[in-house]
Amino acid sequence: MKPHRIRMTHSLIMNYRLYKKMEIYRAKPATKQEMCQFHTDEYIDFLSKVTPDNMEQYSKEQGKYNVGDDCPVFDGLFEFCGISGGGSMEGAARLNRGKCDIAINWAGGLHHAKKSEASGFCYVNDIVLGIIELLRYKQRVLYIDIDVHHGDGVEEAFYTTDRVMTVSFHKYGEYFPGTGELRDIGVGAGKYYAVNFPLRDGITDTTYKEVFEPVIGHVMEFYQPDAVVLQCGADSLSGDRLGCFNLSMAGHANCVEYVKKFNLPTLVVGGGGYTMRNVSRAWTYETGILVNQKVGPNLPFSDFYEYFGPDYELDVRPSNMENLNSKEYLEKIKIQVLSNLERTRHAPSVQTTDVGKGLTEHQEEQDAILDDIDEDGPGMDARQTQRQWDRATEKEGELYSDSEDEEITSSMGVRKTSKKGLRNVRDWKEGGSGTGSGNATPFTGPGGSDNASESAGGNTAKGSGATSKRDGEGRDLTEFDEELEALRKETEEEVQPDNDGDVEMGDDEQPPPSADALTDEVADEEMTDVPAQSSTSSTKVDPIPTAESLSQAKPEAATTDDKIRVEASEFSKAETPAKGSGSGVPKPSESSVANAAPEGSNSMASTTDRHSSKPPLVADESVSSTAKAPANPVEAPAKEEK
C-alpha cells in the first residue's frame, strides 16, 4: 500500500504515452470539512494531528481509532489521505458535470476505512466520499469490488439504503476482514442491495469470468444504475504477497473491459495490491483499455525499469496453484445471488430535491476562473499553460509534434526514445542496442558467454516462455541464429591470446628476430616505394654507408624508413663476402656499429612502438644477428694467411 506503487504506475502510463489519450486533472486535496461528510470530526482531527514524533501522546486515541498496528502512523499521513480522498471526490464531481465519461484515481480505493476507525491500511474511505458526491446528481450508483478482500467499509456505509448497490467478489473464510458472507444482503430499505459472492483460493480467469459477467449483467438489468464505481484491487492477481487468487493480468482486466461496455459514467479507483511491479503492470494495462489504446507486451524505459525484471514485459501470468472453486460450488452460489437480485427487479426511484451548493458547483466556479486565465495567454516564455497541456488530447488522424511539450513531459517523467518501437532488454542479442534504447551493450567473451544477459539476471528468451525470438518491433529473428553463431566462432578464431596472455596486444618481451626473418623484411622494404620525408639533419644516408658515416650520423633525426635502410645495407654487405665476392667497401667493425647505435636505439624503439606493429629493431639485436652471419669480411684475410 506504499505510495511508491502509484509512482511506478504513473511512470508507465506516461512512458506508454497514454496521457495523450485523456485529460489530466490535478485534484486538490480533500479538506477536513469534505472528509467529515462521512467520517466523524474527532477521527479526522486525530489524523491531522498525529505524527511519528508525538504518537506517544495519543496512545489512547490510537486504540480507539485502531491506528498503530495494521494502520501505522507515518510522516505525511493526513496529506496522503487528502490526496486520495480529493482525487475520488473531484473525479465524481467531473462525472456529475459531464466533463468526462470515465474518471480514474489509482491512488484511491481504500475500501476498509470505517466512519470513525482505520482498518486494513485504510484511513479515509475515498470511495464513500466519491459515491456521496455522485448521489447529489445520480439517483442510483453501483459499486463493484474485485479486490481479494471484502469491501466492508463501503458496504457498511450504504447497508441500509437502496440508492447504492454494493457487489463484492472476494475470498471468504478465515481471511481478513472476515465479512462478506452470502447471507449479508442488507437491512431495511437496503435489503437485497448488498451482493456478496464469496470465493475460495486459486480461482482462475475462466472461472472468474463465468461468475462475474452473469452477476453484473443481471445487476445492470435489474438495478439500472446511473453511475458505476469500480474498485480494481490488484491483490487478486496471481503471485500477490497477501492474495490467494490466481488471476492473470488479462483476467483481471476483463472485468474492467466488461463494465466499460455498458457506457455508463464510471469512476475507476485502485485498491489493494502488495507486489508493486504487478500492481503497476495491471493498472497501466487497464488504463490502456479505458482509453482504447492497446499497450505491451514490451515495457518502455522508465525511472523504475529495473523493478520489472527478469522478463521486462507488461504481463502477469497465472501460476499452477490448485483451484479450490469447483463448478458445483460456484453454480450454487451464483443461483442464490441471482435469486436475490430478482427481488430488485424494479429500480428504486428518488424524489428530486435541491442538493444545495457542493463540490460540483464549487468546481464549476473554479474552472470558470481558470478558463479566463488561460484565455489571456500563457505569456511570452511559454506556448501554453500547464492546465492547457493537461487538457489536450490527441485524436486519430491528426498529426502532432512531440517537440512542443518536451519541457513539460520531461518534468512528468517521460523518457525519450530514439527507436520507433518500444524495446525490451532481451532484444539486445537479436536486434542490438542503440542510443536511447536503454539496453546495455552486450559483450561476447572468448567462451561465448553473454555478459549482458548475466547482468540482467539471466534474462533470456527461454525464461520468458517465448517459442521464437523477436526484436522490439515484433520481427522474427530466428533465421539469423546460424549467421550470428558463425560470426561468433570466426571472432573467437581471429582473437587469440599472445604469449603473455593478452589479446591483440604487444608482448612484454619480444624474442630476437632471426636472420631469415630480417632478410625477408629487408626485401619487402626494398620493394616498397618510400615517400620523401623531411629531416632536420643535414647528413644524408648513403646507399652503402661507411664506418665513418655511421659514427657521424644522427639517428635521432632520421626517420623510421631511413633506419630500416641502414640495417638493410649492413646485412646486404655482410652477406657479400660469403658468396665469394672479395671486392666491395669494407664493412664497419662491430665496435663502430655498437658506438653509433646507442644514440638512436631508444628513438627507433619508441617510434616503432607508436607507428608500426612490427617488432622493434634494437642495436643489440642487430649486432647479434650480424654475428650469426656466415662470414665476416674483417676476419677472412687472417684465415687465408693461416
Q: In this structure, what CATH number is given to the domain that contains residue 260? A: 3.40.800.20
For residue 172 the three cell numbers come to 471468504
Which range has the worst mean pLDDT, 109-113, 265-269, 608-612?
A: 608-612
Q: What is the mean pLDDT of residues 282-292?
A: 95
User: Does residue 374 have a pLDDT over 80?
Assistant: no
How far from chain centre, in Å, is Cα 544? 72
User: Does residue 251 have a pLDDT over 60?
Assistant: yes
Helix residue ranges per DSSP H, 16-157: 32-35, 41-49, 59-64, 77-97, 126-134, 152-157
Which residue segment(s) compose the domain that 262 sits in? Answer: 3-24+85-342
How far is Cα 259 from Cα 600, in angstroms, rounded to an integer?
A: 89
Q: Which helix (H) or strand (E) holds 492?
A: helix 481-494
Give residue 8's pLDDT. 94
Between 491 and 315, the higher pLDDT residue: 315
Q: Which helix (H) or strand (E) holds 288?
A: helix 276-290
Neighbouring CB atoms inside 10 A of 178's CB total 12
User: Does residue 219 have a pLDDT over 80?
Assistant: yes
For residue 276 the three cell numbers come to 508493486
How far is Cα 472 from Cα 427, in angstroms, rounded to an integer?
A: 6
How far is Cα 303 from Cα 263, in angstroms, rounded to an integer?
A: 35
How far is Cα 134 from Cα 116, in angstroms, rounded to an integer?
A: 22
How far is Cα 342 from Cα 98, in angstroms, rounded to an integer?
A: 32
User: Does residue 310 have a pLDDT over 70?
Assistant: yes
SS3 at position 345: coil
Give residue 419's pLDDT. 44
Question: Does residue 356 belong to any structural domain of this protein?
Answer: no
Question: Does residue 59 belong to any structural domain of this protein?
Answer: no
Give residue 296's pLDDT. 82
Which range has the worst mean pLDDT, 53-57, 269-273, 453-457, 525-529?
A: 453-457
Helix residue ranges per DSSP H, 161-240: 205-223
579 torsion bin: left (phi>0), alpha (psi -120 to 50), beta (else)? alpha
Share of residues in the chain with pLDDT > 70 (%): 56
Give residue 20's pLDDT. 86
User: Does residue 116 have a pLDDT over 90?
Assistant: yes
Residue 489's pLDDT band, with cuts at 50, 70 and 90, is confident
Between 118 and 464, the higher pLDDT residue: 118
Give residue 521's pLDDT. 54
Residue 344's pLDDT band, with cuts at 50, 70 and 90, is confident
Give residue 405's pLDDT. 59
Strand ranges of the sheet holding 227-231, from the earlier edge strand across to the other edge: 102-105, 266-269, 227-231, 141-145, 164-171, 194-199
Residue 272's pLDDT band, with cuts at 50, 70 and 90, is very high
As a whole number of Å, the CA-based R_g of the chain is 41
Question: Does residue 66 belong to any structural domain of this protein?
Answer: no
Question: Does residue 438 belong to any structural domain of this protein?
Answer: no
Between 6 and 419, the higher pLDDT residue: 6
DSSP for 518-570, written as a single string: HHHHHHHHHHSPPPP---S--PPPPSS--HHHHHH--GGGS-HHHHHHHHHHH
Give residue 3's pLDDT. 84
How far is Cα 425 from Cα 501, in angstroms, rounded to an integer?
A: 33
For residue 103 the three cell numbers come to 474518471
Beta bridge partners of 630: none
Between 65 and 576, the higher pLDDT residue: 65
What is this structure's pTM? 0.64
Beta bridge partners of 577: none
How far is Cα 228 from Cα 17, in angstroms, rounded to an integer?
A: 26
Residue 32's pLDDT band, with cuts at 50, 70 and 90, is very high
Between 641 and 193, the higher pLDDT residue: 193
Which range has the worst mean pLDDT, 250-259, 270-279, 309-318, 625-634?
A: 625-634
Question: Does residue 601 belong to any structural domain of this protein?
Answer: no
Contact 150, 172 (CB under 8 A): yes
Question: Does residue 144 belong to any structural domain of this protein?
Answer: yes
Which range has the worst mean pLDDT, 145-149, 264-268, 370-374?
A: 370-374
How far is Cα 109 from Cα 120, in angstroms, rounded to an integer?
A: 12
Contact 557, 535 (CB under 8 A): yes
How far is Cα 17 from Cα 543, in angstroms, rounded to an integer?
A: 76
Between 150 and 423, the higher pLDDT residue: 150
Active site residues: 112
User: Does residue 255 have a pLDDT over 70?
Assistant: yes
Backbone angles phi, psi at 627, to 5 degrees: -65, -25
Give residue 159's pLDDT. 96
User: Does residue 253 have a pLDDT over 50?
Assistant: yes
User: Does residue 352 have a pLDDT over 60?
Assistant: yes
Residue 302's pLDDT band, with cuts at 50, 70 and 90, is confident
For residue 604 the three cell numbers come to 627507433
Give residue 287's pLDDT. 96
Neighbouring CB atoms inside 10 A of 271's CB total 28
Contact 127, 272 (CB under 8 A): no
| Amino acid identity at 177 | P
How far is Cα 62 from Cα 276, in angstroms, rounded to an integer?
A: 28
Residue 513's pLDDT band, with cuts at 50, 70 and 90, is low
Q: What is the mean pLDDT of residues 245-273?
A: 96
Which range has the worst mean pLDDT, 71-80, 194-203, 404-413?
A: 404-413
Domain count of the fold of the chain: 1
User: Does residue 632 have a pLDDT over 50?
Assistant: no
Closest CA to 408 of 387, 434, 377, 427: 387
DSSP for 579-590, written as a single string: GT---SPPPPPH
Angle subtended by helix axes 249-260 and 205-223, to nearest 10:
20
Contact 541, 553 (CB under 8 A): yes
Residue 421's pLDDT band, with cuts at 50, 70 and 90, is very low
Question: Does residue 427 belong to any structural domain of this protein?
Answer: no
Q: What is the mean pLDDT of residues 25-47?
A: 94
Give residue 112's pLDDT. 96
Q: What is the mean pLDDT of residues 546-554?
A: 49
How far is Cα 299 from Cα 295, in angstroms, rounded to an integer?
A: 9
Which range has the worst mean pLDDT, 194-198, 235-239, 306-310, 567-571?
A: 567-571
Between 497 and 600, the higher pLDDT residue: 497
Q: What is the mean pLDDT of residues 118-136?
A: 95
Average pLDDT of the chain? 74
Question: Does residue 14 belong to any structural domain of this protein?
Answer: yes
User: Does residue 614 have a pLDDT over 50?
Assistant: no
Residue 318's pLDDT band, with cuts at 50, 70 and 90, is very high
Angle subtended by helix axes 619-627 and 598-611, to nearest 10:
110
Give residue 369's pLDDT. 72
Between 117 and 1, the higher pLDDT residue: 117
How far is Cα 580 from Cα 362, in angstroms, rounded to an integer?
A: 118
Neighbouring CB atoms inside 10 A of 369's CB total 8
DSSP for 362-423, written as a single string: HHHHHHHHHHHHHHH---SS-SS-HHHHHH----TT----GGGGHHHHHHTTPPP--SSS--
Q: What is the mean pLDDT of residues 555-579?
A: 49
User: Does residue 615 have a pLDDT over 50?
Assistant: no
Share of residues in the chain with pLDDT > 90 (%): 48
Q: Which residues contact 274 (CB under 8 A, 6 or more apart)?
A: 1, 235, 240, 241, 242, 243
